[in-house]
């Protein structure tokens, strides 16, 4: 599988890890599974490890997540999502677009250059 989602008990957050070219449907499936796990574990923090993420998804398909699907999937409005930016230039652009679209629609999302910076932001009081 090109993605996995798991609860990090030590950090009290849900981690979504991508590895390879992710289709739009895989992006939607992995995001829905992540939100389901945050609800099950009663946490409000998501760390997306996207360094190896690549995609051919269009911006409109990315915009659909915070605009429509998050509410359908039951994502809490207080959720914080930290994304470790992809190495791939095209995927990095999509991640930056995701951050802007999410913020404009009232979701808390931010892209970081590395895992350490993402965790500092997620774990600050």
The token pair that represents 42 in the structure block: 């009663």
Q: Mention every residue, 6+ apart, whose C-beta is less than 8 A from residue 106.
A: 77
Beta-ladder partners of 5: 16
pLDDT at 58: 95
> CA-to-CA distance for 113 and 33, rounded, in angstroms?
24
Confirm if 8 and 41 have CB atoms less than 8 A apart: no
pLDDT at 5: 98
Architecture field, domain 3-123: 2-Layer Sandwich (3.30)
> CA-to-CA distance for 61 and 83, rounded, in angstroms?
18
Report which secondary-structure segment, H or E, holds 15: strand 13-22
pLDDT one digit per residue (tens) for the chain, 125 residues: 899 999 999 999 999 999 999 999 999 999 999 999 999 999 999 999 999 999 999 999 999 999 999 999 999 999 999 999 999 999 999 999 999 999 999 999 999 999 999 999 999 97
pLDDT at 22: 97
The token pair that represents 123 in the structure block: 């774990």
The token pair that represents 108 in the structure block: 């808390």
């Amino acid at each position: 599988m090109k993605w996995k989602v798991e609860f990090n008990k030590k950090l009290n957050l849900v981690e979504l890890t991508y590895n390879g070219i992710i289709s739009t449907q895989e992006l939607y499936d992995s995001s829905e599974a992540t939100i389901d796990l945050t609800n099950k574990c009663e946490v409000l923090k998501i760390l997306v490890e996207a360094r190896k993420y690549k995609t051919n998804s269009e911006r409109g398909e990315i915009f659909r997540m915070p605009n429509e699907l998050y509410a359908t999937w039951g994502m809490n409005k207080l959720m914080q999502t930290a994304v470790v930016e992809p190495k791939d230039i095209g995927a990095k652009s999509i991640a930056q677009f995701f951050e802007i679209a999410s913020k404009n629609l009232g979701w808390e999302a931010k892209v970081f250059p590395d895992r350490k910076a993402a965790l500092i932001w997620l774990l600050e009081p």
